[in-house]
Structure 1
Amino acid sequence: GFKVIIAGAGGAAHLPGMTASMTPLPVLGVPVQSKALKGLDSLLSIVQMPKGVPVGTLAIGEPGAANAGLLAASIVALEDEGVAARLDDFRRSQTESVAQAPEG
């Protein structure tokens, strides 16, 4: 079954909050970038949830979506050793891809 839900939303961004109000599972909200306010409206809508309806809010757009996936994997990894191992491998690979000293 599900362990965590990722909900992306733009504009008034009601989807993450509505989802959180209907489930005991952790809900991660990702604001979608819009033309008018570049996603700031979505970010503020997701962040300003009433007490008792928590939504984990991430960055606007693609970086937020990627980090939502990693955060969801971290939550699942608490109970799934296979996911934990793959997440460790990803983090190790990411760390190893960074140059130790600036080139040039």
Structure 2
Amino acid sequence: MSVQAGIIMGSKSDLHIMKDAADVFKEFGIEFEMTVVSAHRTPERMFEYAKHAAGRGLKVIIAGAGGAAHLPGMVASITVLPVIGVPVKSSNSIDGWDSILSILQMPNGIPVATVALNAAKNAGLLAVQILATANADLALKMQAYKDDLKKKIEESAIDLENY
């Protein structure tokens, strides 16, 4: 199987959040690549990554960034692939709001799917759902995952009701 998804982040310090997306990909058996690409400190690297991502076989990109958080939007402006933005509450963040708004408030024509603050796991799950639209086996795995979530909640309800 070839690499289908990319996980990029503005700084290695974002890895403690972005690893959750990688863990989702591992759970679902999705080949992925992960690297640091900074929109501000390495704009040429960001441009090259985004420009050639589809040609390398990627189908979706998850981009995490803190602070001004331009990485997801800038990557989305270059590639035709869906980009999922993960706002990261970083050390230089304004309680994460700057990251959320920077990723969420994209101009018309440059969409970025945006998950909650630090929600790289949800970004990974959304990427799986995107990939599952063209992969029946992956769709079955996603359905089983959702069925398991439902089962866990039903078991919790029974435990609580019998308390």
Question: RMSD of the TM alignment (CA)?
Answer: 1.2
Alignment of 1:57-72 (within 5 A): 57-61=114-118, 64-72=119-127
Which residue, 96, 102, 107 being the options, matches 1:45?
102
Q: C-alpha displacement at 1:26, in angstroms?
A: 0.6
Q: Which whole-Å CA distance do the structure 2 matches of 1:8 and 1:52 have between them?
A: 20
Q: Does 1:55 align with 2:100?
A: no
Who is 1:31 aligned against?
A: 87
Which residue identity does 1:33 align to in structure 2? Answer: K
Q: Which whole-Å CA distance do the structure 2 matches of 1:48 and 1:88 have between them?
A: 31
Which residue identity does 1:2 align to in structure 2? Answer: L
Which residue identity does 1:9 align to in structure 2? Answer: A
Q: Which runs of 5+ in 1 are unaligned?
A: none
Deviations 1:31-78 (A, max 9, x none): 0012442211100000111111110111001xx211111111111100
The 3-state SS of whatever aligns with 2:157 is: coil
Who is 2:46 aligned against?
A: none
Who is 1:75 aligned against?
A: 130
Which residue identity does 2:75 align to in structure 1? Answer: T
What is the number of equivalent residue pairs in this alignment?
Answer: 102
Which residue, 11, 15, 18 being the options, matches 2:74?
18
Identity of aligned residues (%): 52
Q: Which whole-Å CA distance do the structure 2 matches of 1:13 and 1:92 have between them?
A: 34
Using the TM superposition, name which of 12-21 and 92-101 deviates more.
92-101
Q: Which whole-Å CA distance do the structure 2 matches of 1:48 and 1:8 have between them?
A: 15
Q: Which runs of 5+ in 2 are unaligned?
A: 1-56
Larger helix share, 1 or 2: 2
The two structures have a TM-score, normalised by structure 1, of 0.91
Q: Which whole-Å CA distance do the structure 2 matches of 1:89 and 1:80 have between them?
A: 14
Q: C-alpha displacement at 1:3, in angstroms?
A: 1.3
Q: C-alpha displacement at 1:16, in angstroms?
A: 0.0
The two structures have a TM-score, normalised by structure 2, of 0.59
Which residue identity does 2:115 align to in structure 1? Answer: L
